[in-house]
Each structure stands twice: as structure tokens, then as C-alpha cells.
Structure 1
Amino acid sequence: MAKPKKTPRPKAQTPKGFRDYFGAEVTERDGMLRQIAGVYHAYGFDALESSAVETVEALGKFLPDVDRPNEGVFAWEDDDDGWMALRYDLTAPLARVYAQNRNDLPLPYRRYAMGPVWRNEKPGPGRYRQFYQCDADTVGAASVAADAEICAMLADTLETVGIPRGDYLVRINNRKVLNGVLELIFSDESYIASDALKPGFDLEEKKAAVLRTIDKFDKVGASGVHELLTTGRRDASGAFIEGVGLYNWQAEIVIEFLHGRRLVNQHTLRDLGKLVENSVQGSEGVRELSKIAQLLEAQGYGPDRIVIDPSVVRGLGYYTGPVFEAELTFEIFDEKGRKRQFGSVAGGGRYDDLVKRFTGQPVPATGVSIGVDRLLAALREKGRIATAERGPVVVTVMDRDRMADYQAMVAELRGAGIRAEVYLGNPKNFGNQLKYADKRQSPVAVIEGGDEKERGMVQIKDLILGARIAENASLEEWKERPSQYEVPRGDLVAKVREILDGQG
């Protein structure tokens, strides 16, 4: 008789492109999100939590470099509701929420949202398939004053969480100006006539490919963009990336546009106006940028904080007007020890047609999304977040039959607002209890054996000071700076509080 096969054990590993977050990381993130929410709330935005799952139809096809609606997202087919997917950002769900509840919501509707999003794309160093975003959006305001407000709020948010002025720059462009440039490079009739004869030629897809390539300017530079717009280039791995197929004269117009940022916003706007003066849409985009710059300067946000920059594109396909990114300008060392700028931590823009997909009626909207994990990494680089988290006070167990006594101590500490726990492992080896407290990064251990119980006393051990003395001090210093105290049981909370305050 054949021996039954054993069920193989599952591998204890995270799926590729995903990661786990432990205590200090979660605490740091929650703290930063509270700071960001405080800024958003001060600007008059209300909180919204939307579903993590949407229909593929509701999400739409807006991710870059995808060919099918459910490519780039984690999707599955449901028997009742058809194709469903995890949200890839917090903006597409907002369009659905507003369309569904528009009769009950104020106009304009100002909301902020925070939470994880998922993208089914190739992971890489620092690039995960699940990551946190923190958004703020205004739905129903056509004025570019709404875009200017979002940019001002983004600058305020970065400074609030600990990115000082001078270490960041909010960069603004306008998709209408970009469309004006596309009109310019695709307006040559002989070019259109010759290329239209080629099999599979699609002018709109060609324009979209140009925008996707421009969006890589920060990564590959002007020469790399020129190669990608024309014949193609080899990436760092040696793989060949096929080019868009533009002529050199077309690529040179794009490169001129990307280099259009000047030291003064008005000079940038002047040169952009000349470049797209024959495009109605492009000229409208320049006027909108000019108005945004005026509004920001009137509030004290000069080009040292917010600047007009033609190289900003934004990869998502739903943007229709102003687009913006927050870039951190300080230098860090990459994994190969090379210096580089930290780069973008937030982006957004105007998307006036997203709600229209549901209602048939145009509804103007604009918003911003902050990449939470990247911003946290930036704060760590600047030394603005302590990497260690203080653990709980640990009440040790000297007699398992007196667990009620130890639980009473913990209850008193917690009632005084002090984080505390009773050791719930095997109490037989007291040394293991202290090792546990050390691994938990506990600041204090509480000890009450039978002798202390009879005398109405309790031992309180300062674990932080004890560790420092053990590492650096002589025996005499041990005597001068005791790290363990015996106090009356009734003074437990007061003494623990005194030690914690001394530790800072």
C-alpha cells in the first residue's frame, strides 16, 4: 500500500514586493500621519475612508505602461460583481465615492484619506507592491486657486513633519502646456502623412508614449530622454528599450521644453509662452501657471519653496491641468555609495474628467498624494525620527501563584498612563525575564518577591541606566549611581514615573 504523501509545509516568507512592518516603524508612521492629518484638517479638509476594493471598471485604465484595464492592479473575477481589484491609489476611489454620494456632499467637497494601495508591478530596491499614501483633494472647484492651495498645503506639510525650508521644492507644471508641446511636434503635415501609412500607427498612443518618456527625465537625463524618444537605449542592466520613434527635430523640441526652468518663475513662464504660442491649449496652460504663481507669491510662497518647472509630468493618465511634485533636494548615498538627491516624495494635479466617467457631467477636481514610506525614509536620513522605540515597563513574576498582585501593579501603571505589561512566559528563570525586558527595549522592570511582599516594598530597576553603567562605568560609579531602588509598594507609580522622566 502506497504511503500517503505529507502535505508540504508552507514557506515562511513574504511575497515578492511586499514587506512586514514592526513596532517602531508602525509607531513612526502613525505619528507622522497624525501630523499630516493635523495640517490637512487645519486647511478645512475632512477625513474619508473608502473601500480597499473597487471594480476594475470603476478604477479605470490610468496606470502607466499597461495595456489592459486589470494589468498593473491585483484583480480577480467575482461571480456576482465581475472583475474586482485592490485600489492602486486613493484618487480613483474618490471619484467613485463622490459620484455615488454627490447629492449628500457639499460642493466643493474637501477630503483627505490615508491608507495602503497596491500595484501589480515589478518590484525593485525600495519599490514595493504595497505602500501607504496620504491624500488631500478638492472636488468641485474649477479655479486654479484650489491647485495653488494644495501646493501651499504640501509645503506646509513637509515643514510640519520635519523637512526644513531649503531641503525641499514643490515643482509645478501644466498638462495643457505639455499638450501644446505635443501639438507642436506632431503638427507637421508631412510627418503625419508619412507615419499614418505605417501599420498600427496611433497618434494618441504616440503622444502618451512621449509623456511617459518625459516622466523619466529625472532618472535618465536629457540624453536618455532623447534616445528613448528616438531610436531607443540600453538601460543599466544592458537590456535594450525600444524608442518612441520620433525624429531628431521633434526630440530636440521636447528637450528644449524640459530645460525651460529659469531662476525666476516669470522668466520660465515667458519662455514657455513663446514655445507654445501657436497652441490655444498650451497658451491657456501658461496663463493658469501664471495665476498660480501670483496666488502663491501673494501668500509668501516664493520660488525658494514652490517653482514652475516644465519637466514635471506625472505618470498617471487622468491629469488634465496643473500637475505638481514635491522633491527633496538634499543629498544621500545610494546602495553603491554614490551621492544623489533624495528625489520625489509627493505628487498630484488636476483631474477634471475623472468623476465624469460616472456621471457624464464634468466635475473639476485637484489633489495631492504623499508617499508615506519615502517621506519616512527621508526623515530618518535627516535624523528627524528616532529609530528606537521605548518598550513597556515589565512587571516580573517571582511567584506564579501571586499573578493577581502583579496584574494589579500593571493596572495601576496603565491607569497612570504608563505603558506596562506582566511577564507571561515561564517565570522559572528570572534571568530570562530580564532578557525578555531587554529585547522589548523596556525602560524599567518591577520586581516583587515574597520578602518584598511581606515588608510592603517593591524593587524598581532602571534598565536604561543599568545598561549604560554596565557598558561604561567602574565599580565605584555603580555605587554612586544606583540603577535599582526599593520603595514602598504605594510609591510604585510615582517612582516609575520619576525614572521615566529622568530617561527623557
Structure 2
Amino acid sequence: MAKQKKQPRPKAVTPKGFRDYFGSEVSERKTMLDQIAEVYHLYGFDALETSAVETVEALGKFLPDVDRPNDGVFAWQEEDSGWLALRYDMTAPLARVAAQYRNDLPSPYRRYTMGPVWRNEKPGPGRFRQFYQCDADTVGAPSVAADAEICSMLSDTLEAVGISRGDYIVRVNNRKVLNGVMEVAGVLDASDPTKFEHERGIVLRAIDKLDRLGHDGVLALLGAGREDVSGDFTKGAGLSDEQAQIVMGFMAAKRDSGAATVARLHELVQGSVIGAEGVNELETIAELMAAGGYGSDRVEIDPSVVRGLGYYTGPVYEAELTFEVQDEKGRPRQFGSVAGGGRYDDLVKRFTGQSVPATGVSIGVDRLLAALRAKGRAGKEAPGPVVVTVMDRDRMADYMEIVTELRNAGIRSEVYLGNPKNFGNQLKYADKRGSQVAIIQGGDEKERDMVQIKDLVLGAKIAENATLEEWKERPSQYEVPRAEMVARVRQILEGEG
């Protein structure tokens, strides 16, 4: 009989394009999301959690740069219910919720949501297949006052999490203005919206890459196409030089003030009804921002903002961080965009057949956290728990009593639950946990109702700068009555030890 082949052990590796998050990373993300939620609550938005799984039909054909509904998502086919997929953003699930519960929800419906999304895309440096998003949307409000409110809330949110005024700008544009410009350029036919649809998609994606490709790169994509440094060729929109220059003129329409920019845009869309409507909406947003005290140092009109997704129908906005960081080669560069969104009045219509106005914004949680680390506002290791060491395994009940007393006082703490035989290993464990204090109580201290408190931070500093004999003479470990334990531990944790 042939010997059965031994099954190989599974490899302990994270799947490609995914990553694991540990203690301090999870904690700082939660802290930031709590700060964001506080601002959203202040603005009257309610929390919503939707299923991580949607039907492919509900997700729809709204992924950027793809031709098929289930391209770019993690999808599978159920035997009795068709294709399902992990959500790729938070907006498509909201459209489904707004349609499904339209008779129960208030109108307008204001919601925010936070959680992971999944995209079946090629991973790269800093680009993962699972990442967090934090969205806020208003469904059922046709007025651009809803768009203006999103912009002001985004500004307040960035400041609430620690991005100083002057280190960010919320840039606002309107897709109707761009449609007007494309109508003037001859790549949009108001009587037949499907005509030139493919060319307009290329134009939108090209403009959205202005920061990365520059003027010449975008101009090439508006024309015949562009070849990158690797030799790969991207086919362009096929616009004539005259048509391309009209679009490029739109991207260069920003002036020193919102009023001057709006005036220039009026000139560019002359003769286009949809374009004039979009410029008027931008003018209204600028007036509302000024009335609310949000000057051009916080929110500004910028025609270069288009956003890549095809479902936007009106105002679009993007939050850009303007401070400099260093790239992997040590070169200075601006941090860039951390949030974006816009109006999408046709998304809910897919379910109801009726147009439902909606607008919202999505914050890239990982990028905003990276920005806070770059500003020194996050990334610091949180102190670990107080560790109650075990000198006698038969006295575990005593140590549990000590740790309960610390926890009841609001002090994060734990009993060492490894093998207590080697006391040095217990202190090594406390060091690896980032603990500031260790509690020690042997049988002698128990009889006298005392405890030893070891200041691990001070002990480490002394050990770095003194001989062993000098270290032994310093008060990094001392005995106190059990009744004073909580107060003395709190002194050390608060920096007063």
C-alpha cells in the first residue's frame, strides 16, 4: 500500500494586497474616527452600518476605469440568488438602502458610515485591496446648500482631527461646468447624451491625472494618446487641437478669487445651458461658504477638480493637504488628496426609476492617518498596561484582586499569565508591551500589606546612563502601602512620579 503523502503545513502569510493592523494602529484609527463622528453628529448626521456583501446588481456599473459590473470587485455566484460581491465603496450600498427603506427614512436622509471596502485591483506600494472609508451623505436634498454643507463639514472635520488651517484646502468644481465646456468643444450633444460617451470618459480621467502627468501629459491624452516611460501606450480621446485647447483652457480657469474664477467660467461655457447652470451653482456655493465664514483659505473654487467616478452629476469636491513631506527618495512633495466626493442625483434612480438627489463625501482613512503621522499628530506608541507580576502561582487570587483594584480606578492593567518561573521574563514581557509600571508583591510584602512599584520608564533611563551599582541605588523601584498603590501608580502614569 502506497504511503499517504503528508499534507504540507499552510504558509503563515498575509494574502497579497492585504495587511494586518496591530494595537496602536487600531487605537489611533479608532480615535480619529471618533473625532470625525463627533463632527458628523454635530451636523445632524446619523450613523448607518450596511452589509459588507451586496448583490452585483445593487453595486452596479460604477467602478472607475472598468467595462464590466463585476470587474474590480470580489464576487462569487450563489446557487439560488445570483452573483454577490464585497462592497467596493460606501455609496452604492447607500443608494440601495435609500431605495429599500424610502418609506421609512426621513427625507432628506443624512447618514455617515465607517468601515472597510474591498477592491479586486492590482496591489502596489501603499495600495491595498482592503482599506477603510469614512463617508457622509445627504439623500433627498436638491439644493446646492447640501453640497456647501458637506464642504464646510469636511473643513471642520480636518481641523478636528489635527490638520491645521493653512495645511489643507477643500477644492470645489461642478461636473455640469465641464459638460458645458465639452459641449462647446463639440464632444457632448445635449440631444443625445450617449454620443461621445467613450471620449468624455477619457477626457474625465485625463483631467483627473493633471497633478501626476502635468499639462503635456493631459494634452496628449486628450489627443491621439500618450506613451509612458515604460513604453506602454494609452489611447487618447481623439480630440482635435482646437477641442483640446478648449478643455485645457477650462482647467486653467482658476483665478485669484472665487468671483473671478466664476466670471471666467461663464465666458468658457457661453452658449451651453448645462454649463451656465453649473457655474451658477458654483457661485451659490461660494456665497454660502463666505456667509458661513469659510474663506478661500479653507474652501475654494477650482476647475481642475473633476473626480474620476462616472456617477457624479453636479458639484464635486476634494480635500487636499498642502504641506510638504518627503518621498521615498527624500524629495519634497505635497501630501495630496485625502477626501473627495460630489453630487450623484441618478444613483438611487437605478432602483426606483425616479430621480433622487444625493450628495456626499468619502475620507480615505489610511491616507488621513498617514498625514497625521507626518504632522506628528499620530503614530506615537500608546503606553502599555500596568503589569502585575506573579511571584507565587498559588497566590493568583491575590494578584487578581490587585489588578481589579487598578481597573476599578480606571487604570489599564493586566496580570502576567505566562510561566511565572523566571521573573526576568516577566519584566521583558512588560517591556515588550510598552508598560510604564510593574507591580510586585511577594509573600513578605503580602504579610505587611505592602507592594513594590517598579517605574519601568525611569529604570530604563537609569540603565542607559549609569553603572549597575548606581542603578541599584536609584529609586526606580520602591515599596508603598497597599492602600497607596493606586495613587502612586497614577502619579507615575501622569508623569509626576
Show the counterpart of 1:400.
Answer: 393
Distance 1:503 1:3 in 2: 68
Q: What's the offset of the Cα at 1:3?
A: 2.2
Query: 2:355 is matched with which residue: 362, 367, 372?
Result: 362
Query: 2:211 is matched with which residue: 211, 215, 218?
Result: 218
Distance 2:452 2:34 in 1: 37
Change (3 A) 1:285 1:202: closer
Q: What do residues 308-333 of structure 1 show as CA deviations (whole Å, max 9, x unaligned)?
A: 11111111121110000000001111
Show the counterpart of 1:171.
Answer: 171
Distance 1:495 1:188 in 2: 74
Alignment of 1:413-452 (within 5 A): 413-452=406-445
Q: What's the offset of the Cα at 1:475?
A: 7.0
Alignment of 1:484-499 (within 5 A): 484-499=477-492
Distance 2:383 2:469 in 1: 28
Q: Does 1:391 align with 2:379?
A: no
Distance 2:470 2:197 in 1: 77
Q: What do residues 443-470 of structure 1 show as CA deviations (whole Å, max 9, x unaligned)?
A: 1101111221222211110111111222
**Taking every aligned residue pair, what percent have the same amino acid on both sides?**
74
Show the counterpart of 1:198.
Answer: none
The AA in structure 1 aligned to 2:417 is L
CA contact (8 A) 1:64 1:212 kept: no
SS of alignment partner, residue 502 of structure 1: coil
Query: 2:364 is matched with which residue: 368, 371, 390?
Result: 371
Alignment of 1:1-150 (within 5 A): 1-150=1-150
Query: 1:346 is matched with which residue: 326, 332, 339?
Result: 339
Range with greater deviation from structure 2 (40-49 or 205-214): 205-214
**TM-score in terms of structure 2 length:** 0.96
The AA in structure 2 aligned to 1:172 is V
Show the counterpart of 2:294.
Answer: 301
CA contact (8 A) 1:169 1:307 kept: yes
Alignment of 1:300-319 (within 5 A): 300-319=293-312
Q: What do residues 111-156 of structure 1 show as CA deviations (whole Å, max 9, x unaligned)?
A: 1111111111122221111111111111111100010010001001
Distance 1:473 1:323 in 2: 61
Query: 1:209 is matched with which residue: 173, 181, 202?
Result: 202
Range with greater deviation from structure 2 (452-461 or 105-114): 452-461
Show the counterpart of 2:238.
Answer: 245
CA contact (8 A) 2:25 2:379 kept: no
Distance 2:368 2:227 in 1: 31
Range with greater deviation from structure 2 (445-454 or 226-235): 226-235
Show the counterpart of 2:495.
Answer: 502
Q: What's the offset of the Cα at 1:367?
A: 0.7
Q: Does 1:270 align with 2:263?
A: yes
The AA in structure 2 aligned to 1:308 is I
CA contact (8 A) 2:169 2:320 kept: yes
**TM-score in terms of structure 1 length:** 0.95
The AA in structure 1 aligned to 2:64 is P
Q: What's the offset of the Cα at 1:214?
A: 1.3
The AA in structure 2 aligned to 1:262 is R
Q: Does 1:231 align with 2:224?
A: yes
Distance 2:414 2:133 in 1: 33
Q: What's the offset of the Cα at 1:495?
A: 1.7
Distance 1:220 1:296 in 2: 31
SS of alignment partner, residue 122 of structure 1: coil
Q: What's the offset of the Cα at 1:27?
A: 0.4
CA contact (8 A) 1:48 1:111 kept: yes
The AA in structure 1 aligned to 2:265 is L
Alpha carbon RMSD of aligned pairs, Å?
1.8
Range with greater deviation from structure 2 (476-485 or 434-443): 476-485
Q: What's the offset of the Cα at 1:205?
A: 1.4
SS of alignment partner, residue 77 of structure 2: strand
Q: What's the offset of the Cα at 1:473?
A: 4.5
Distance 1:205 1:425 in 2: 64
SS of alignment partner, residue 126 of structure 1: coil
The AA in structure 1 aligned to 2:262 is L
The AA in structure 1 aligned to 2:329 is K
Distance 1:477 1:390 in 2: 27
Distance 1:36 1:66 in 2: 32
Change (3 A) 1:238 1:15: farther
Q: What do residues 392-414 of structure 1 show as CA deviations (whole Å, max 9, x unaligned)?
A: 11011111111111111111111
The AA in structure 2 aligned to 1:221 is G
Query: 1:256 is matched with which residue: 220, 239, 249?
Result: 249
Q: Does 1:280 align with 2:279?
A: no
The AA in structure 2 aligned to 1:162 is G
Q: What do residues 90-115 of structure 1 show as CA deviations (whole Å, max 9, x unaligned)?
A: 11111111111111111111111111
The AA in structure 1 aligned to 2:488 is K
CA contact (8 A) 1:63 1:315 kept: no
SS of alignment partner, residue 301 of structure 1: coil
Show the counterpart of 1:459.
Answer: 452
Change (3 A) 1:13 1:293: same
Distance 2:454 2:75 in 1: 54
Q: What's the offset of the Cα at 1:471?
A: 1.6
Change (3 A) 1:476 1:299: farther
CA contact (8 A) 1:464 1:503 kept: no
CA contact (8 A) 2:172 2:300 kept: yes
Distance 2:321 2:270 in 1: 32
Q: What's the offset of the Cα at 1:372?
A: 0.6
Structure 1 unmatched runs, 5+? 193-200
Distance 1:475 1:187 in 2: 80
The AA in structure 2 aligned to 1:14 is T
Count of residues in correspondence between the two structures: 494
Q: What's the offset of the Cα at 1:245?
A: 2.3
Change (3 A) 1:187 1:235: closer
SS of alignment partner, residue 51 of structure 1: coil
